[in-house]
């Protein structure tokens, strides 16, 4: 599969990196030579310094020979134009990043008239993801799978935790559960039964919700939290706007604090039931006046990671039940689990996950990137002629970096062992290291199809 990415910013870079793991032939186009030089030293992709919105450039690059073009520049209009030009030059599929709320209200028109097959909006996708966390009645949470029948949670193992220093095979309380990953000293590990759980590890556990709750009780973690009714959002940018509108629909009481007066006026005009406050959200006097302690959820979505994290910590210390922070820097993902912040979300990772789900096709239900892309959780429906069908897992030959966390067969959730067998049309949830994703694609793809991506795109 050949993919051209126009725009080598944070999203373009992360997408190219993720596609590298998928064994996709990537060409990255940008006008900034310094950015491209940095990419060349880190990624195995073909880079070209050029203006991707020029028709001559796209012709010279033979964009018609590409299966997919993704436009990820900072301009909605430029991205739309690039997709239109590429489609007119016979590129099979196009994806455009579009952020402007005014554009989002006209998605169907943009798709039909401008030749854009799939529109990604990092701000809207992040707001939807935050809303999902706000709506939950518990804090420590990674994701729902198999239509809510299976969940994955992360638990921090302190020095006094009963799991610390023990091998996984010797742990009590894991009935119906599976430890699919361990984050330790900046490294993601796919464990086996003989792997020891150490103090300060973060473990990723998958299973049915009722079994997760039993484990949390054993570990002294309060999973059940009061339902969010009153939410304070720091930052009135696009994410704050989208989130407030989504929470309004759910009947929650929402307040936004924004320090730009014109933006406050825009928000007040667009939002029906949200209280918009013009002021500095870091001003303790303002927070005291607004009675910060009375809120049950705090969300920091300003353009500054440090501010979002700091104010989320402050909110937690003030007694706010649930705190959420938006982060953009990949290295912050490694410290969040050490902080008293319930959830930190990266818009780039969320967007890349959506794109990967799209290009992998209908049999892939969801893709979630972990720790900035070091790991991936994928839910998929197994084809009847996949090479893993009909064999005990012990005979499949999974590499060490891949673990099947759950199987849903005829509606029943199975936490597998070596004797478990996968059948056609089963749903499976797979936890894998980024380096082993190409092997995963080969294992799950139909025989003689050449990979899940080829299977999907061969339909077009």
**Tokens of residue 93, six digits:** 């599929």
Query: What pLDDT, on a 0 to 100 scale, did the predictor assign at position 219?
Result: 78
Q: Are the CB atoms for 231 and 322 separated by under 8 Å?
A: no
Query: What pLDDT, on a 0 to 100 scale, did the predictor assign at position 138?
Result: 54
Q: How many CB atoms lie within 10 A of CB 41?
A: 7
Q: What gap in Å lies between CA 277 and CA 298, rounded to an integer?
A: 15
**Tokens of residue 236, six digits:** 């009135």
Q: If you write DSSP's letter for every residue of 305-363 in order, what string do you get?
A: HHHHHHHHHHHHHTT-SEEEEE---GGGGGTGGGTT-SEEE-HHHHHHHHHHHHHH-TT
pLDDT tens, 43-64?
Answer: 989 999 999 999 999 999 999 9
* Closest-CA residue to 452 (of 390, 387, 354, 361): 361
Q: How many CB atoms lie within 10 A of CB 133?
A: 18
Which residues, other chains included, contact 60 with Cβ-Cβ below 8 Å and sequence gap of 6+? 50
Q: How many CB atoms lie within 10 A of CB 427?
A: 22
Q: What gap in Å lies between CA 276 and CA 254, rounded to an integer?
A: 9
Specify the domain boundaries for CATH 3.30.70.1450 within the chain: 349-457
Q: How far is CA 426 from CA 209, 263, 266, 387, 459, in A?
A: 20, 48, 48, 13, 22
Q: Is 412 helix (H, G, I), strand (E, B) or coil?
A: strand
**Tokens of residue 373, six digits:** 């892309």
Pairing of strands 93-97, 166-167: unpaired
Q: What gap in Å lies between CA 438 and CA 451, rounded to an integer?
A: 9
DSSP 379: E
* Closest-CA residue to 371 (of 36, 18, 125): 18
Q: Are the CB atoms for 125 and 94 separated by under 8 Å?
A: no
**For 2-120, CATH number?**
3.40.50.720
Q: Are the CB atoms for 69 and 19 separated by under 8 Å?
A: no
**Tokens of residue 160, six digits:** 């006094």
Residue spans of the chain under pLDDT 70: 104-105, 137-143, 222-226, 334, 337, 362, 372, 445-460
Q: If you write DSSP's letter for every residue of 396-426 in order, what string do you get?
A: H---TTEEEEEEEETTEEE---TT-BB-TT-
Side-chain-side CA neighbours of 78 within 13 Å: the count stands at: 12
Query: What pLDDT, on a 0 to 100 scale, did the predictor assign at position 155?
Result: 84
DSSP 170: G
Q: What gap in Å lies between CA 293 and CA 405, rounded to an integer?
A: 39
* Closest-CA residue to 154 (of 180, 135, 174, 134): 180
The length of the chain is 460
CB neighbour class for 447 (10 Å; exposed up to 12, middle 13-18, buried from 19): exposed
Q: Identify the CATH homologous superfamily for domain 349-457.
A: Regulator of K+ conductance, C-terminal domain (3.30.70.1450)
Helix (H) or strand (E) holding 39: helix 33-40
Q: What gap in Å lies between CA 158 and CA 140, rounded to an integer?
A: 15
Helices (H) and strands (E) in the chain — how many of each? Answer: 16, 24
Domain 126-135+226-345 has CATH 3.40.50.720: yes
Q: How many CB atoms lie within 10 A of CB 390?
A: 12
**Tokens of residue 162, six digits:** 């009963």
Specify the domain boundaries for CATH 3.40.50.720 within the chain: 2-120, 126-135+226-345
Query: What pLDDT, on a 0 to 100 scale, did the predictor assign at position 446?
Result: 56
Q: Are the CB atoms for 233 and 240 separated by under 8 Å?
A: yes
Residue entry with tokens 């959820």: 297
């Amino acid at each position: 599969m050949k993919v051209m990415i126009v725009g080598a910013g944070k999203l373009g870079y992360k997408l190219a990196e993720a596609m590298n793991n998928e064994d996709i032939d990537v060409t990255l186009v940008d006008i900034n030579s310094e950015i491209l030089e940095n990419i060349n030293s880190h990624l195995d992709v073909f880079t070209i310094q050029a203006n991707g919105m020029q028709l001559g450039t796209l012709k010279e690059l033979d964009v018609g020979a590409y299966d997919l073009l993704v436009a990820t520049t900072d301009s909605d209009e430029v991205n739309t134009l690039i997709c239109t030009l590429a489609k007119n030059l016979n590129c099979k599929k196009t994806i455009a990043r579009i952020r402007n709320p005014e554009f989002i209200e006209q998605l169907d028109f943009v798709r039909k008239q401008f030749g854009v097959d799939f529109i990604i909006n990092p701000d809207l996708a992040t707001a939807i993801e935050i809303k999902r966390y706000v709506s939950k009645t518990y804090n420590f949470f990674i994701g729902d799978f198999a239509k809510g029948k299976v969940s994955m949670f992360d638990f921090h193992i302190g020095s006094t935790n009963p799991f610390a220093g023990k091998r996984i095979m010797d742990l009590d309380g894991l009935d119906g559960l599976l430890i699919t990953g361990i984050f330790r000293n900046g490294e993601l590990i796919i464990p086996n039964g003989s792997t020891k759980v150490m103090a300060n590890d973060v473990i990723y556990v998958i299973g049915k919700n009722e079994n997760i709750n039993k484990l949390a009780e054993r570990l002294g973690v309060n999973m059940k939290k009061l339902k969010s009714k009153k939410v304070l959002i720091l930052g009135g940018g696009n994410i704050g706007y989208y989130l407030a509108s989504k929470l309004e629909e759910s009947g929650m009481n929402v307040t936004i604090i924004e320090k730009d007066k014109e933006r406050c006026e825009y928000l007040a005009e667009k939002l029906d039931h949200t209280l918009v406050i013009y002021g500095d959200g870091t001003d303790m006097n303002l927070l005291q006046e607004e009675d910060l302690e009375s809120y049950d959820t705090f969300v920091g979505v300003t353009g500054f990671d440090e501010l979002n994290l700091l104010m989320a910590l402050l909110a937690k210390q003030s007694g706010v039940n649930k705190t959420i922070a938006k982060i953009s820097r990949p290295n912050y993902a490694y410290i969040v689990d050490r902080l008293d912040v319930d959830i930190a979300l990266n818009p780039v990772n969320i967007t890349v996950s959506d794109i990967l789900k799209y290009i992998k096709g209908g049999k892939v239900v969801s893709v979630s990137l972990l720790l900035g892309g070091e790991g991936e959780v994928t839910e998929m429906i197994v084809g009847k002629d996949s090479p893993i069908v009909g064999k005990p897992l012990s005979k499949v030959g999974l590499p060490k970096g891949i673990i099947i966390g759950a199987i849903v067969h005829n509606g029943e959730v199975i936490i597998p062992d070596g004797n478990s067998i996968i059948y056609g049309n089963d749903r499976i949830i797979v936890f894998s290291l980024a380096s082993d994703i190409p092997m995963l694609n080969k294992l799950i793809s139909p025989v003689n199809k050449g990979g899940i991506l080829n299977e999907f795109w061969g339909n077009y």
